[in-house]
A and B are shown apart, each in its own frame.
Chain A
Amino acid sequence: MEAAGCRARALLLPLWCCLLAAAPRRCAGQTDLKSPQDIQVYVVNTNFTLRWNYTGNDTNVTFSAEYQWLDPKTSETEWKELPGCQNVTDTECDFSSAITEYNDEHLVRVRAERKEDKSPWSSVYEMIPFLIAQIGPPEIHLQSINGVIKIQVSPLESNQDRKMWNLSSFKYNLVIWENSSDAEVRSQNIFPVDTISGLAPETTYCLKVQAILYYQEGLFSPIHCVKTTRKVNYLFCPANLKVSALNMQFHLHWNNPYKQHVNYTVQYLLGFAKQLHDDHSGKWLSVPRCENVTNTKCNFTSIITIISAFYYLRVQAMSEYNKSCLSKEVKIDPLSTNEIGPPSIRVDISDVLLHVQISPPGGDENKVMRERYYLSYQIVYWKNSSDNEEEIKVKEIKQTIATISDLTPSTQYCVKVKAFSEAYNKSSPFSNEECIKTPGEGFGGQLFGSPYLPTAEEPIESCYVIESIIEEVNQNDFKDYKHSKQSSRDSGNYSNDDDTSGSKGSEGMLEKEII
């Protein structure tokens, strides 16, 4: 504690004098100067500002600061003069030149001085620059062209040797409003090189941009105002781009009301390219077999090499006069864009058990959909009887084989199945309906609607059935709905004596409740 002189006199003077380090000393020989308070450091990119308050008499008072860099490699701790903060008259100073290690801890303190008098040091401010740094305002360039605004954001700290944010990929938030009263303010994410469209022509808009790093928002740029130009629409520009995708086959359609001869080339861009600062206009590639075509559709499945990735598509039109026009872009997220087609089913009966075999959408060989959508299936079945009392039952499973038991003999049942993905909140249309009649007492079954299924006398693949039942039991997603006037509770015990013939499921008997 700096009260060395005071300590010596502690016996003679009131104790409180020495305990209040920041208070003006009344001890003889000590200074009257108050020490600065509320010391703070503000960091914007690599600009460091020290600020403090001074509540004492500030005539002819200057301030000087000291700092320590806690070098993790050494254990040296010595206070050094802080460049930029020596003998300043303001209550703030810029010490950017002193700090080079942005990941290490630093200490700062400041005191007041008047001629030979020096106040006690303020409390120490501890900081790790990187953890308190604010993201500075970005520099933006605007170009008003053809009714849209092209914007380019310069990378932060691009001309600096020392960077605070040197490992960072920023996102940018644009805030834009029409320069009139009552204008609504809109906020949207933009890429470093982007186009702001959907604007009214010949109108002045004002905008500002901030850089965002993960969840830290940076300071806004100054406001820029720009007037949009007239919009010149080439008649032959491709418009109304629509993407349709079924079972991972992707198609793009567009239209062009222009009757004259136009050639189209569909181009694509890998999604991540927009995140980089370089101008990606040269990175668009042509979609194979959609180059210089005259029809207005394109199958672009071949470019979707990675399912979990973004792609952008656009259509370039070339008129017979060698004028070209680019359409708007569409963004593709394959798993979100794609629609799941219906599965197909086969039904089969043995005694009073109805087996449903499901072929996943896209076919058995197409593993992509199954794996990426984590498909489940909803089986809907009902008694196809003449009376109006329809008891529709629903069962949800993850496997492609299910067994329905406890059926009434000599009754026709109908089944249909749809696939759904909880992960992507998508479901397919229903499969074809298959109907089959349960055998009468003691007779083989009669089949409807599935001419290529084996009859009841032929061996069935019971091993799959066992496997699926066992796995079904272990899962929690077994649901059972009943929509009917009857409130009967089906309780069926199932047991199977057949061999499992080497299937993966666990062996043994199980008693469970099946529909």
Chain B
Amino acid sequence: MNTFGLVQIGLILLCTTTMSSLNCNHLPLQQRKAIENSLQLLDKMGKKFPHRCLREKMSFRFPEQVLKPKQKETVKMAIEEIFQHIFYIFSKNLTLAAWDGAALEQFQNGLYHQIEQLEACVTKKQTQYFWIKEINRLKLKKYFQKIDCFLKDKKHNLCSWEISRAEIRRCLQLIDKAVRKLYN
């Protein structure tokens, strides 16, 4: 009776830990496709950037140097960190943005999948250990904290969301550039 229970746990564990079976060598190709999809969905979510929101525009200053470190593994982790932050931001109160809910959900779903794939492919424990202490991680936190504070200050109104959306768009484009450079 006891062993039977444990065997079942084992089976459930096997089933619940299915990760994508993507060959990690093909990750860059797949990433570029996924980012392309994300950008399309980001555009599809809302309409053109409203003119009246221009005066509220903020300079967030994305720390571009985080995408240029010496090791490929560290860039992968920076990218995953950025995706995690974006995922978090878009899980907030979006009702005032009045965006296409279906497109938003698909955006989140695609982003989440990318995060899982990256995690499955970054395997070097040493890089992970050093990433925890990395100053780039701090730069990213500060950058996304700025966006988060901006949204909070403006009480998540439509303009603040539109400005954030434009900023995230820029972010994704920078990542796409970095992925292209890394693997060419």
Contacts and interface: CB of A to CB of B under 8 A. Distances in A.
A422 B27 CA distance: 12
A154 interface: no
Given A167-B88, A422-B26, A423-B29, A215 B113 contact: no
Q: Interface majority SS on B: helix, strand, loop or mixed?
A: helix
Contacts of B63: none
B81 A169 contact: no
A295 interface: no
Contacts of B13: 186, 188, 198
Contacts of B113: 271-272, 306, 308-310, 333
Interface of B: 1-2, 4-6, 8-13, 15-18, 20-23, 25-26, 29-30, 33-34, 37, 77, 80-81, 84-85, 87-89, 91, 105-106, 108-114, 116-117, 119, 125, 128-129, 131-133, 135, 137-138, 141-142, 144-145, 148
A480 B114 CA distance: 36
Contact of A203 (B2, B88, B128): B2
Contacts of A180: 2
A319 B37 CA distance: 42
Interface residues of A, number: 45
Contacts of A215: 77, 125, 128-129, 131-132
A100 to B, nearest CB: 13
23 contacts: A103-B145, A130-B138, A131-B133, A131-B138, A167-B144, A169-B87, A197-B8, A214-B77, A214-B80, A215-B132, A216-B132, A272-B111, A306-B106, A306-B110, A306-B113, A308-B110, A309-B110, A309-B112, A335-B22, A423-B22, A423-B29, A424-B22, A424-B23
Given A166-B148, A270-B106, A425-B21, 14 more contacts: A131-B133, A166-B145, A184-B6, A186-B9, A189-B17, A200-B2, A200-B5, A216-B132, A271-B113, A272-B113, A305-B106, A310-B112, A423-B30, A424-B22
Contacts of B25: 423
A440 to B, nearest CB: 46
B63 to A, nearest CB: 12
Contacts of B26: 374, 422-423
Given A166-B148, A178-B2, A308-B33, A275 B112 contact: yes
Interface string A185-224: 0101100000001111001000000000011100000000
A21 interface: no
Contacts of A103: 138, 141-142, 145
Given A198-B12, A215-B132, A422 B2 contact: no
A169 B1 CA distance: 38
Contacts of A131: 132-133, 135, 137-138
Given A166-B145, A167-B145, A178 B131 contact: no
Query: Which DSSP category, helix, strand, loop or mixed, fits chain A's interface?
Result: loop
Interface string A361-384: 000000000011010000000000
A160 to B, nearest CB: 15
A105 B93 CA distance: 32
